[in-house]
Amino acid sequence: MKTLLLIGSLTLISHASFADINQIDAAANTMNIEQLKQISSQTFDYEKAYAEYRLAITANILGQRQLASTHLDSAQANLAQLINRENSADASALLASIYGMQIAFDSSKAATLGMKSSRLLTQAEQLDATNPRVKLVQAISAFNTPSIFGGGIEKAQTLATEAITLFEAPCESICWGHAEAYTWRGLAKQEDGDMAGAISDWQTALTVDAQYGWAKFLLSQQTAKQVSK
C-alpha cells in the first residue's frame, strides 16, 4: 500500500516511518490482533492511531466488536491530540475515516460525526490536495453515503480513481492505501453491476500488495460462488 512524496504539511508527522507503517499493514493483512496490540503500545502519534485503526478493523472482522470500539475511541483521542499540536492532511483524513467507522458502529452518531468527518476532509484537502489517502477516504465516505446526501456509487468510483492516480507518485513515509483504493473502487463497481470490473480491480490490488488480505478474501468469495454453481 504505497505512494506519495511527503511535502508541505505532511513533514509535520515526523514520528511516522515507512517501516512501521508497513509493519502495521503486514499485521493487519494476517489479522494478527496481538501483533497490532503490541505495535500500538510501542508507537506514538500517527503511527499509534493508525495501528489502532487497523486493529479496530481486524477486531470487527473477527467479531470482537467491543475491542474494535475501544481502539477506535483510542485512535480518535490520539489523533485529536496530534491535530491540536501539528495538523496534517494524513492525520485529518485518518480521523475522518475513524469517524466513519464510529458511525457504522452507532448510527445515532451520524449527524454529529458526519459533519465532523466532512469538515476534516475539507481541511485535509486544503492542507494537501495531492494526498491520495484524502481521496481514498473521500471515496469510502461517498460509498457509504446515499447520493441524496452528497455521496453515491458513481462518486465513490470517481474519487477512488483519483486516489489511484495520485498513488502513482513516489512515497517515502506514510504509504498505506494504494491496494485499498483499488479494492474500494472494485466494491463500487460491484454495487454498480460491473462484476468483471470489480474482479479486475481486486486482482490489480494484489499486484500492488500481494499480501493484501481484503482483496484476497473478495476474490476467494467470487471463486467460491463460481464453484458452487
pLDDT in tens, 201-211: 999 999 999 99
Task: Bin 193: left if φ > 0, else alpha if -120 < ψ < 50, else beta.
Answer: left
pTM reported for the whole predicted model: 0.89
The pLDDT value given to residue 225: 80
Which residue matches cell numbers 445515532?
108
As a whole number of angstroms, the distance between CA 55 and CA 134 comes to 20
As a whole number of angstroms, the distance between CA 65 and CA 119 comes to 27
Q: How does the average pLDDT of the chain come out, rounded?
A: 90
Reply yes or no on whether the pLDDT at 137 is more than 90: yes
Reply yes or no on whether the pLDDT at 172 is more than 90: no
Mean predicted confidence (pLDDT) in 88-112? 95
